[in-house]
Amino acid sequence: MQRGLTHLSHFLLWLLFAQTSADLPMCKESDYHFEYTECDVLGSRWRVAVPNKPDTCTGLPDPVRGTQCTFSCSEGEFLAMQSQQCQKCAAGTYSLGTGVAFDEWDSLPTGFVTHGVTTNGGDAHTDCSNSTWTPSGDYIASNTDECTAVLSYAVSLKKPGTVSFEYFYPDNSVYFEFFVQNDQCQSTDSESRWMKISESSWSKYRVELNTGNNVLYWRTTAYTLQGSAVKPVLLRNVAISGVAFTSECFHCKPGTYSAKPGSARCAPCPADTYSTKGATVCHQCEPDKYAEAGSGSCKPRPACANSDYFYTHTPCDSEGKTQLMYKWIEPKICNETTEGAVKLPASGEKTTCPPCNPGFFVTNSSTCEPCANGFYSNGTACAKCPVGTEPVVGFEYKWWNTMPSNMKSSVFTREFSHSDHSTAWEVAGEYIYTTPGDQDTDYLMLILNVPGYRLPQSLVKDSERTELSSITFVFETTCTADCKLYFLAGYNQWNNNVVEQWKGSNRKQSYSYLIHSNSTVSFTWTFQRTETFNMERKYSRDVAKIYAIRITNVVGGVASQCRRCALSSAEAGSACVPCPPGHYMVNGTGVCKRCSPNTFIRAEQPVGEAACVHCGPNTKRNKAYSACVSDCSLDVRTRAGARLQYDFSPLANVTSFHSGPRFTNKGLRYFHLFSVGLCGKEGRVPATCVDNVTESGREVRGYVCQSTVVPSEIRSQSVVSSQPFLIGDSLIGVTTDTALAGVSSPNWLFSPAPGLPDVIFYYKSSEKTQACKQGRSATIRLRCNPTVTAKDHITLPSNCSEGTCDGCSFHLLWQSQHACPLCTKHHYREIVSACIQGIQRTTYVWQQPLQCYGGESLPVQKVSACVTLDFWLKFGVSTGTIAAVLLISISCYFWKKTRKLQYKYSKLMMSSGGKECELPTADSCAIMEGEDAEDELMDLTKKSFFTKIKSFSRERTYDGFDSVPLKSSSSLHQREEEDSDDA
């Protein structure tokens, strides 16, 4: 209310000033216009008159209360400020009622703002000031460089409304998003802000808007990863509803008209007509001129040239004849009467029609009809599949006299979405080819739609190991410019993904694509002669030809042959049953035979012994006999004969890692994201790479895959992944050898490590491309490194920083402590301590350098009782002393004994008188048995022991015997008496 009073006070002051200018003339209706004041808190406002030029007249109408702020008019109406009533727009104009529309882009409309910003993470010195959205007449185009281009428009809605627009988004190298910010600067949900790819058509988009201030943002960022040209995003027909009112109607732009008052939109003029701005009717062009649909003027008709007509084969007539016929391209724009114009060539002679396509038969009217279920044909007549066989259902096109019923062709011209000709691809008997278009930049599309897929009865139980379907086509391109042929697959012709593309001229060749999802039911071949726009058709003779198309296992398809299958023993004529798992069918017999152990069945060749494929080293077949798997365990014999056991289970979970940063030409960052599912038992979670840029959400699954990742600061979501592809979907084997089954992992890729050899996992992908005709492959080296505690320490070759040197063979190095062999008793040693206080300890330690992990643990320390060295020393000394004493005693005893014997012997010799062989006579003085002669002798002589020894040594006879002195018996007797007396 206060704001309304403020405006009223200003107006009263202006009136007071006007009264002082009585010399000014009175204002006419053409001298002023009406405006509303700002709405107050009650939703009220005033209508005031505002002069077109100040101080030019006086006597303006008084302010009056205006309509409520929520007041609005319907479509085709405007609010007349004089009467404050809604009135219909006049013919030649239109109105959205509560909205505004922007369909003319000769210049940037008022309210729109565009600017370029440097992408975060890129070169800070990159100049993006000129990277803006550029108006181009019927549309506005985004930038094509590596800057972020922003287009914004602020609008205040008085009630809930909508914003709608059309866009053309043909290149997935550009990230295109649309979002809305409200009063609280809250943006649209991040999951719904990304626009889906529109490969060959304008797409429509519509978003609900809330009451209040809304800022609309269109933002693009281009990434030229391969240095190729980027197609810009095009935007047109922006319409916003929910504003309070519109006080005027908009004139129809040239090329459109509105014939009746109250029109909500203008209709385009048909071909060969034109209109100017604000037209109510379209005017016919002169005979020597032409105009395309929606044209604002007519152009002179050029002289007819060879590029203005095409040739085709007519359908077979009732006589089974066909002929080559020439036709003008419609709509015809050339003039045959102009000097130098060519004439349409005459049609060829009628010839016998070729046979129908396989699975069809020729009717009495010479048309082709499909064979019934359970029948097959080679294109002439249908025959029933014999007992023990089943039809191989699909579609095979190799004769092109008529366009198949499930195929159509169309031309898409970027500038005019209503250009929809039927002459994009034409049949020519042995092939179907591209006809000249209106412009060399046209997209010539051939679309094939199928209802779905179903496996044959004999393969239903083995669906896990059999591809759902496959499509194969033979093509050829002949070009003098930078032509491209795209092959796309998806849900429909407007929601698909580019599978492969070929540039320039390509010799006649075949291409196959495996179909894994029942939702992939649309296939499109798109040919563009050049990306460089030119009004003249310079490359109309550049052509693409498709000779044959074959797609298998199609629901509602026809059969060109029958496949043998195993017969049921119970009901031999009832139906076919599949071979049991692990069996193959013997050629031509329908009999199943078991494959050799540890083999799986080759899906593309289920018949014959060659269907059994041996699993690679250290792999085992799965239960479905469809592939070989690794349970993450491995036994390896080294050259020295040692046995190493590995357990890679801790590495089995899917692991993702990205390469180092890559930079585009302008220094913007991106990464290659690898996802790896190393090994695991059946039912393992595969590695997955997705495309979350477009709504298609394409994803691939396998052992190893890769996608391109844009830094999160570029977009407002955590991970932005695009362009996913599969590197390995089957495991070939696990070994320490550097080559296996045609796949190699050279040692020079990674710096060698001393010690244990690397364990290498070999993978192969069945996905073939133009560059990788044999499919892609991957090798993952597992290297033992006990110091690495992280499970995902994966690196790429230094010589091939993107993981591949040729784009087909990828190599990874995975270092981890879990890549070491399991520890055994050979990996540790024991240390025995000294005996301390009767206790001895045995400790076990790992041998260094340690090259094992897990397995056996170190034994606990052992403690045992022992005897110390002091005890044994004392015991030894004591024992030695005793032994020495005993030895001396024994020596003395035997020495004494020896002396006795010597004495007796000497006595005997003296008694014998020197005669041999004679015994001495008895003598009373002789020593009797038991007498101790030596003691008596020692007592008699009274000599010391050493004196005796000395004398003993001197008193030796010449013959070597001792001379023993003998006492007389009287002396002896006297001695004995003395001894008795002493006693």
Q: What is the mean pLDDT of residues 931-953?
A: 47
More confident residue, 922 or 881: 881
Q: What is the mean pLDDT of residues 96-107?
A: 83
Structure confidence at residue 953 (pLDDT): 46
| DSSP label at residue 783 | E
**pLDDT of 421 over the 80 cut:** no
Report percent pLDDT > 90 for the chain: 18
Structure confidence at residue 8 (pLDDT): 47
- Assigned token pair, 965: 């002195």
Backbone φ, ψ for residue 325 (5° rounding) = -130, 145
Structure confidence at residue 18 (pLDDT): 47
pLDDT bucket at 938, cuts 50 / 70 / 90: very low
More confident residue, 275 or 37: 275
Interatomic CA distance for residues 149 and 144, integer angstroms? 9
Residue 178: what residue type?
Answer: F
CATH at residue 755 = 2.70.130.10
Q: How far is CA 304 from CA 309, 334, 362, 480, 863, in A?
A: 9, 5, 39, 22, 107
**pLDDT of 956 over the 80 cut:** no
Interatomic CA distance for residues 309 and 316, integer angstroms? 22
pLDDT bucket at 483, cuts 50 / 70 / 90: very high
**pLDDT of 962 over the 50 cut:** no
DSSP, residue by residue, 181-223: E-TT-PPPPGGG-BPPP-SSS-EEEEEEE-SEEEEEEEEEEE-
Three-class DSSP category at 408: strand
Asked whether residue 72 is assigned to any structural domain, the reply reads yes
Query: Is 715 in the same domain as 798?
Result: yes
Asked whether residue 250 is assigned to any structural domain, the reply reads no
Query: Is 666 in the same domain as 795?
Result: yes
Q: 80: domain range?
A: 32-88
Three-class DSSP category at 549: strand
Asked whether residue 696 is assigned to any structural domain, the reply reads yes
pLDDT bucket at 283, cuts 50 / 70 / 90: very high
Asked whether residue 181 is assigned to any structural domain, the reply reads yes
The DSSP H or E segment spanning 727 is strand 720-728
Reported as a single tens digit per residue, the pLDDT across 439-473 is 788 888 899 999 888 887 666 655 555 578 899 99
Cβ(381)–Cβ(361) under 8 Å? Answer: yes
Query: Is 473 in the same domain as 399?
Result: yes
Cβ(444)–Cβ(438) under 8 Å? Answer: no
- Assigned token pair, 837: 């206080």
Asked whether residue 280 is assigned to any structural domain, the reply reads no
Highest mean pLDDT out of 241-255, 568-582, 936-950: 241-255
**pLDDT of 574 over the 60 cut:** no
Q: Which long-range contacts (CB under 8 A, 24 or more apart) does 458-463 make?
A: 458/390, 458/563, 458/565, 458/566, 458/576, 458/577, 458/578, 458/579, 459/578, 459/606, 460/578, 461/578, 462/578, 462/581, 462/601, 462/624, 462/625, 462/626
**Residues facing 527 on adjacent strands:** 444, 485
Helix axes 869-911, 933-941, angle to 10 degrees: 80
Cβ(736)–Cβ(757) under 8 Å? Answer: yes
pLDDT bucket at 188, cuts 50 / 70 / 90: low
Query: Is 60 in the same domain as 114?
Result: no
Structure confidence at residue 168 (pLDDT): 87
Q: What is the mean pLDDT of residues 503-514?
A: 91
Query: Is 405 in the same domain as 492?
Result: yes
Q: Which long-range contacts (CB under 8 A, 24 or more apart) does 899-903 make?
A: 899/934, 900/932, 900/933, 900/934, 902/962, 903/933, 903/934, 903/937, 903/964
Asked whether residue 251 is assigned to any structural domain, the reply reads no
Query: Is 108 in the same domain as 226?
Result: yes
pLDDT bucket at 78, cuts 50 / 70 / 90: confident
**pLDDT of 170 over the 60 cut:** yes
Structure confidence at residue 506 (pLDDT): 93
**pLDDT of 960 over the 50 cut:** no
Interatomic CA distance for residues 375 and 388, integer angstroms? 13
Structure confidence at residue 390 (pLDDT): 82
Which residues are within 8 A (CB) of 412 and not within 5 positions of it... i.e. 6 or more apart? 200, 201, 419, 420, 442, 443, 445
Residue 80: what residue type?
Answer: A
* Residue 147 half-sphere exposure toward CB, CA atoms < 13 A: 19
Least-confidence region, from 383-397, 768-782, 887-901, 954-968: 954-968
Q: What is the mean pLDDT of residues 741-766?
A: 89
Structure confidence at residue 431 (pLDDT): 92
Query: Is 809 in the same domain as 855?
Result: no
Burial of 561 (0-12, 13-18, 19+ CB in 10 A): middle
Structure confidence at residue 432 (pLDDT): 94
Structure confidence at residue 957 (pLDDT): 45
More confident residue, 245 or 333: 333
Which among 474, 332, 315 has a CA at the least distance from the CA of 401? 315
Asked whether residue 903 is assigned to any structural domain, the reply reads no
Structure confidence at residue 646 (pLDDT): 92
pLDDT bucket at 547, cuts 50 / 70 / 90: very high
**pLDDT of 117 over the 50 cut:** yes
Residues recorded for the chain: 983
Overall number of domains in the chain: 6
Reported as a single tens digit per residue, the pLDDT across 295-353 is 889 999 888 988 888 888 888 888 888 888 888 887 788 888 888 899 988 888 888 88
Interatomic CA distance for residues 948 and 946, integer angstroms? 5
Structure confidence at residue 126 (pLDDT): 66
651-664 burial, b at 16+ Cβ within 10 Å, e below that, comes to: bbeebbbbbeebeb
Interatomic CA distance for residues 379 and 395, integer angstroms? 12
**pLDDT of 136 over the 60 cut:** yes
Query: Is 398 in the same domain as 507?
Result: yes
Structure confidence at residue 718 (pLDDT): 57
Interatomic CA distance for residues 242 and 209, integer angstroms? 8
Structure confidence at residue 891 (pLDDT): 87
Interatomic CA distance for residues 785 and 818, integer angstroms? 8
Structure confidence at residue 914 (pLDDT): 53
Query: Is 527 in the same domain as 654?
Result: no
More confident residue, 477 or 798: 477
Structure confidence at residue 569 (pLDDT): 45
Q: What is the mean pLDDT of residues 106-124?
A: 76
**pLDDT of 973 over the 50 cut:** no
Query: Is 800 in the same domain as 835?
Result: no
Residue 640: what residue type?
Answer: A
* Residue 543 half-sphere exposure toward CB, CA atoms < 13 A: 17
Interatomic CA distance for residues 18 and 10, integer angstroms? 12
Highest mean pLDDT out of 329-333, 356-360, 829-833, 836-840: 356-360
**pLDDT of 492 over the 60 cut:** yes
Backbone φ, ψ for residue 933 (5° rounding) = -65, -35
Which among 489, 483, 493 has a CA at the least distance from the CA of 412? 493
pLDDT bucket at 947, cuts 50 / 70 / 90: low
Cβ(904)–Cβ(920) under 8 Å? Answer: no
Q: Look at strands 234-241 and 161-168 and give their pairing.
A: antiparallel
Residue 512: what residue type?
Answer: S
The DSSP H or E segment spanning 561 is strand 558-564
pLDDT bucket at 95, cuts 50 / 70 / 90: confident
Structure confidence at residue 504 (pLDDT): 92
**pLDDT of 216 over the 60 cut:** yes
Q: What is the mean pLDDT of residues 206-223?
A: 86
Query: Is 418 in the same domain as 309?
Result: no
Burial of 2 (0-12, 13-18, 19+ CB in 10 A): exposed
Q: Find tokens 């609900």 and name the residue.
A: 208
Domain boundary among 515, 544, 561: 561
Asked whether residue 911 is assigned to any structural domain, the reply reads no
Least-confidence region, from 496-505, 692-701, 795-804: 692-701
CA 707-711-715 angle, 5° bins: 105
CATH at residue 528 = 2.60.120.200
Cβ(280)–Cβ(92) under 8 Å? Answer: yes
Q: Look at strands 699-702 and 687-690 and give their pairing.
A: antiparallel
State the chain's maximal CA–CA distance in angstroms: 203
Query: Is 76 in the same domain as 198?
Result: no
Structure confidence at residue 370 (pLDDT): 92
Three-class DSSP category at 926: coil
Q: What is the mean pLDDT of residues 479-507?
A: 84
